[in-house]
């Protein structure tokens, strides 16, 4: 596995955690129940992870092509 992919996946996991914490904190202010904010925060975390993982793969492909 390329170091770019490995580093990208670590940062993708960190981005997902941050997205979850920020989204959950914000959504709990708008809903009385805790179930809906949790679901929305999980969705935000998944999207953040996927976006950063795809970016890591694209950077890896770009660097391998030119090096």
pLDDT tens readout for residues 5-60:
999 999 999 999 999 999 999 999 999 888 999 999 999 999 999 999 999 999 99
What is residue 67's predicted lDDT score, i.e. its pLDDT?
Answer: 82
User: What are the tokens at 40?
Assistant: 């929305």
What is residue 3's predicted lDDT score, i.e. its pLDDT?
Answer: 85
pTM over 0.85: yes
Closest of 20, 16, 3 to residue 56, by C-alpha: 3
The distance of Cα 3 from the centroid of its chain, to the nearest Å, equals 18
The C-alpha atoms of residue 53 and residue 1 are separated, in whole angstroms, by 13
The distance of Cα 46 from the centroid of its chain, to the nearest Å, equals 6
């Amino acid at each position: 596995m390329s170091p770019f992919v490995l580093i990208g996946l670590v940062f993708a996991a960190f981005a997902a955690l941050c997205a979850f914490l920020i989204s959950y904190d914000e959504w709990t202010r708008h809903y009385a129940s805790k179930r809906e904010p949790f679901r929305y925060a999980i969705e935000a975390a998944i999207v953040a992870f996927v976006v950063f993982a795809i970016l890591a793969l694209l950077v890896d492909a770009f660097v391998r092509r030119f090096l």
